[in-house]
Amino acid sequence: AVTEKTARSLPKVSLHCHLTGSVRAATAVELARKHGVPLPRDAGSLYDIPSYESLGEFLRVYDVIGSAMRDADDFRRVTYESLTLGGADHTVLYREIFVSPASHPGVPYATIMEGVRAGMREALTDRGIDSRVIVALHRERSAREAEALVETVIEHRTEEVVGIGLDYEEVNGPPGLFATAFRRAERAGLNRTAHSESGPPRHIEILLDDLHCTRVDHGYHVVTSPPVLRRCVDEGIAFTCTPVSSDIGRYSGGGDGSHELIDRMRRAGLRITIDSDDPPMFGTDPTNDFVVLAGALGYTARDLADFTFTAIDACWLDDSGKDGLR
């Protein structure tokens, strides 16, 4: 088994972490009070995720927290906390963080990014953790809204935005709807990833053929289709897996046996990275995801280090940026 001390000290590269899902319960309570937003539960049970019924219930709480993030300083603060307490404290060297503008209704994109950028800069100065942003499109909203957001991203393009993603519930927004938005992003030089939690494997083919994704977030159902699995191996598609959040099957398509699914994906030759998704909301952190996975599968510190090397290869820094992490 890998101890918590060893796991904490292993260098990590974080490719699957949502900003809103990184807000600590104490911070969520303060921001809600600051803006007069009622929380659906008290601070003690806000993040008692196993008591939630479904991914939908989880996401509605996530939305309440998102609606309590309003001014640039809120975004600065939660970004800084994610990168320091939730990152550097766990030897995370580099994080590509999902920012979902649609989760913050009424807040201008420029305000969100001004705060996020300030938090990123402070975390780099104080703790040496580097970071970039992936702007996530909200798949439960319309394709038209996603296309408009991509135009906004391109218009306000600054160098910390390295790509786009697709989040929220897959059954409420199948990937094919977003082909136009993703192709526009591709033409503007943005990288592409998308969540695929509930499946089916056909959705992964759509991510590759129509959205031109080079990474897939979660994607455990890939093992149920040998041809799709083979193709993802051949094309070097990276899968950003989240052991703890996915162990609760009704959230990320894993469920009982999700650790074994990760092991099967790895043995099949897929490129796998490990991260924490929505760390405080799922009661986890980057160290804990390593410890839990190693405990379930008998992985060694060496195996865990391999995930970090894969994440360095799969990240969206340029070659000299990647070399800086090696």
Which residues are at the interface with ligand ADE (CB under 6 A)? 18, 21, 62, 167-168, 195, 197, 245, 251-252, 277-278
User: By CB under 5 A, how many residues form the interface with Zn ion?
Assistant: 1
Q: Which is nearer to ligand ADE, 245 or 287 (CB)?
A: 245
Instruction: Select the span of 28-36, 142-150, 230-238, 269-277 touching Zn ion (CB under 5 A).
Output: 269-277
Give the shortest CB-100-to-ligand ADE separation in angstroms.
7
Q: How far apart are CA 196 and CA 67, in angstroms?
A: 25
Q: Is 197 in the site for Zn ion (CB under 5 A)?
A: no
Q: How far apart are CA 193 and CA 212, in angstroms?
A: 8
Q: Which is nearer to ligand ADE, 49 or 150 (CB)?
A: 49
Sheet holding 271-274, edge to edge: 12-18, 92-99, 130-138, 161-167, 191-196, 215-218, 238-241, 271-274
Helix (H, G, I), strand (E, B) or coil at 299: coil
Q: Residue 273 contacts by C-beta under 8 Å, 6 or more apart in sequence?
A: 13, 15, 16, 238, 239, 240, 241, 307, 310, 311, 314
Backbone angles phi, psi at 192, to 5 degrees: -140, 130
Give the shortest CB-197-to-ligand ADE separation in angstroms.
6
Q: Which does 289 bind (CB under 5 to 8 A by kind): ligand ADE, Zn ion, none?
A: none
**Closest residue to Zn ion, based on beta-carbon distance:** 277
Q: Which is nearer to ligand ADE, 10 or 173 (CB)?
A: 173
Q: How far apart are CA 236 and CA 91, in angstroms?
A: 26
Q: Which is nearer to Zn ion, 34 or 60 (CB)?
A: 60
Per the CB < 8 A criterion, the answer to whether 19 and 100 are in contact is: yes
Give the shortest CB-313-to-Zn ion separation in angstroms.
20
Helix (H, G, I), strand (E, B) or coil at 211: coil
> Which of 74, 170, 277, 285 touches Zn ion (CB under 5 A)?
277
Instruction: Select the span of 50-58, 149-157, 274-282, 317-325 touching Zn ion (CB under 5 A).
Output: 274-282
Instruction: Select the span of 137-145, 277-285, 297-305, 314-322 touching Zn ion (CB under 5 A).
Output: 277-285
Q: Which is nearer to Zn ion, 130 or 277 (CB)?
A: 277
> Got the DSSP string for 66-92?
HHT--SHHHHHHHHHHHHTTTTGGGTE
Instruction: Select the span of 67-75, 139-147, 206-214, 272-280 touching Zn ion (CB under 5 A).
Output: 272-280
Per the CB < 8 A criterion, the answer to whether 181 and 143 are in contact is: yes
Per the CB < 8 A criterion, the answer to whether 193 and 163 are in contact is: yes
Burial label for 165, CB within 10 Å (0-12, 13-18, 19+), is buried
Give the shortest CB-134-to-Zn ion separation in angstroms.
11
Give the shortest CB-258-to-Zn ion separation in angstroms.
14
Q: Is 63 in the site for Zn ion (CB under 5 A)?
A: no
Q: Which is nearer to ligand ADE, 265 or 312 (CB)?
A: 265
Give the shortest CB-21-to-ligand ADE separation in angstroms.
5
**Closest residue to ligand ADE, based on beta-carbon distance:** 167
Residue type present at position 172? N
Q: How far apart are CA 145 and CA 195, in angstroms?
A: 18
Under the rule (CB under 5 A), what is the footprint of Zn ion?
Answer: 277
